[in-house]
C-alpha cells in the first residue's frame, strides 16, 4: 500500500467513517457530502457538464473536452450513497475522469432517493433512463448502492428481453441486501469508511416492505445468463468485499464473462479519489481499456 493510500485510509477512518456512524439527519448528511465533493473532487480541465432528461428522469452529462454527448456510444452511470444520499453532482468529477480516459460521454442518472422514494423508485428511474438511450451502444456503470442498481437494472433488462448493454461495470457494488456476506463481520473493523452497524438502516429505508432477497434489490440473486461482459472491483478490507466475490462466482456459473478485481487495502469506491490517489487513476485507466475492448467487439 502506498504512502498516499495509507494516509487516505487514516483520514477516512478518523473523519468520514466516524461521521457516517454518528449521522442522524439525512438532509445534513446529503448537504455535507455535496459540499465535500464540490471542494475535493474535480474533473479534468475542459470538462463539460449538462443537465437534461432521459425518459423523463433528470440526468447530468459529463463529457471530457472534445467528446460529443449527442450521438454514439455512452456510459449510463448510477451514483452510490446507500440509496439515501449522493447525487450526480457528487460523482460527476469521477465520471469526467472516466470520460477522458474512455473517450465516451457519461450520462449520470439523478434517480429518486429513499426514504422519500423507497424501492422500486430507483429501479423504475433506472429502467426509464436506460430505455431512452438503449438505441445507442450503452455501458452500464455504478458504485456502491449505485453499482447494485446498475446490476439490478441489467437483471431486469435480461428478464424483460430488452436490448442488452454492451457491458456493465461496478465499483464496490452493494449486491446483497440480506447482508449475509462474511466480510460484513470479518471487515467490520478493517473497513476505513463504511460502519457495519448502520447497514440495517439502509435496508429499512430503501426496502420498507420488500423482501431483501428480491433480485431487483439484491442482484446477487438475479439471473444473468446471456448477459454481456461485466467488470467488478472491490477492496480486500471492505465490508462489501463478499458482495463482489460471491456475485462473480455466480456469474461464472451462469457462463457470463466477468472480470473481478480485489485490491488490497483500498477504501470503498477508491476511484472517486482520482485527484489524489495514483491507484484510483490506474483503476480508471484499467476500466477504460476494458470499456474500449467491449466497444471494439460490439
Question: Would you state the CATH architecture of domain 3-297?
Answer: 3-Layer(aba) Sandwich (3.40)
**pLDDT exceeds 80 at position 1:** no
Q: How confident is the model at residue 97 (pLDDT cuts 50, 70, 90)?
A: very high
In the annotation, is 124 catalytic? no
**pLDDT exceeds 90 at position 285:** yes
| Residue tagged active-site, from 16, 110, 156, 238 | 238
What does the pLDDT look like over 19-67, one tens digit per residue?
Answer: 999 999 999 999 999 999 999 999 999 999 999 999 999 999 999 999 9
What does the pLDDT look like over 202-226, one tens digit per residue?
Answer: 999 999 999 999 999 999 999 999 9
CA 275 to chain centre: 18
What does the pLDDT look like over 57-92, one tens digit per residue?
Answer: 999 999 999 999 999 999 999 999 999 999 999 999
What does the pLDDT look like over 126-180, one tens digit per residue?
Answer: 999 999 999 999 999 999 999 999 999 999 999 999 999 999 999 999 999 999 9
| Residue tagged active-site, from 144, 203, 218, 228 | 144
Supply the pLDDT for residue 83.
Answer: 98
Map the chain to HEC letters.
CCHHHHHHHHHHHHHHHHHHHHCCCHHHHHHHHHHHHHHHCCCCCCCEEEEEEECCEEEEEEECCCCCCCCCCEEEEECCCCCCCCCHHHHHHHHHHHHHHHCCCEEEECCCCCCCCCCCHHHHHHHHHHHHHCCCCEEEEEECHHHHHHHHHHHHHHHCCCCCCCEEEEECCCCCCCCCCCHHHHCCCCCCCCCHHHHHHHHHHHHCCCCCCCCCCCHHHCCCCCCCCEEEEEECCCCCHHHHHHHHHHHHHCCCCEEEEEECCCCCCHHHHCCCCHHHHHHHHHHHHHHHHHHHHC
Closest CA to 64 of 55, 74, 79, 52: 74
**pLDDT exceeds 90 at position 2:** no
Name the grid cell of 192: 476505513
Supply the pLDDT for residue 289.
Answer: 98
Closest CA to 80 of 120, 33, 43: 33
**pLDDT exceeds 70 at position 249:** yes
**pLDDT exceeds 90 at position 182:** yes
Q: State the average pLDDT for the chain.
A: 97
Q: How confident is the model at residue 298 (pLDDT cuts 50, 70, 90)?
A: confident
d(CA 268, CA 241): 9
Map residue 21 onto helix, strand or coil.
helix
In the annotation, is 203 catalytic? no
Amino acid at each position: 500500500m502506498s504512502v498516499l493510500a495509507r494516509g487516505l485510509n487514516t483520514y477516512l477512518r478518523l473523519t468520514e467513517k466516524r461521521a457516517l456512524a454518528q449521522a442522524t439527519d439525512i438532509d445534513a448528511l446529503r448537504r455535507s457530502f455535496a459540499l465535500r465533493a464540490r471542494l475535493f473532487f474535480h474533473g479534468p480541465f475542459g470538462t463539460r457538464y449538462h443537465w437534461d432528461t432521459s425518459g423523463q428522469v433528470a440526468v447530468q452529462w459529463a463529457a471530457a473536452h472534445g467528446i460529443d454527448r449527442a450521438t454514439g456510444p455512452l456510459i449510463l452511470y448510477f451514483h452510490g450513497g446507500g440509496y439515501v444520499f449522493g447525487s450526480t453532482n457528487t460523482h460527476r468529477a469521477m465520471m469526467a475522469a472516466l470520460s477522458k480516459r474512455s473517450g465516451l460521454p457519461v450520462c449520470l442518472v439523478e434517480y429518486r432517493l429513499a426514504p422519500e422514494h423507497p424501492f422500486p423508485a430507483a429501479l423504475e428511474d433506472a429502467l426509464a433512463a436506460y430505455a431512452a438511450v438503449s438505441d445507442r451502444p450503452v455501458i452500464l456503470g455504478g458504485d456502491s448502492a449505485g453499482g447494485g442498481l446498475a446490476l439490478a437494472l441489467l437483471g431486469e433488462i435480461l428478464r424483460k428481453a430488452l436490448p442488452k448493454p454492451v457491458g456493465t461495470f461496478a465499483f464496490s457494488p452493494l449486491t446483497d441486501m440480506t447482508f449475509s456476506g462474511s466480510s460484513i463481520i470479518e471487515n467490520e473493523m478493517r473497513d476505513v469508511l463504511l460502519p457495519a452497524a448502520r447497514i440495517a438502516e439502509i435496508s429499512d429505508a430503501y426496502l420498507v416492505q420488500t423482501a431483501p432477497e428480491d433480485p431487483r434489490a439484491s442482484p446477487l440473486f438475479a439471473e444473468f445468463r446471456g448477459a454481456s461482459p461485466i467488470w467488478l472491483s472491490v477492496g480486500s478490507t471492505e465490508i462489501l468485499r463478499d458482495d463482489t466475490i460471491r456475485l462473480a462466482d455466480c456469474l461464472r456459473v451462469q457462463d457470463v464473462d466477468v472480470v473481478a478485481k480485489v485490491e488490497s487495502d483500498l477504501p470503498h469506491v477508491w476511484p472517486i479519489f482520482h485527484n489524489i490517489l495514483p491507484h484510483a487513476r490506474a483503476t480508471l485507466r484499467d476500466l477504460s481499456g476494458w470499456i474500449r475492448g467491449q466497444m471494439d467487439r460490439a
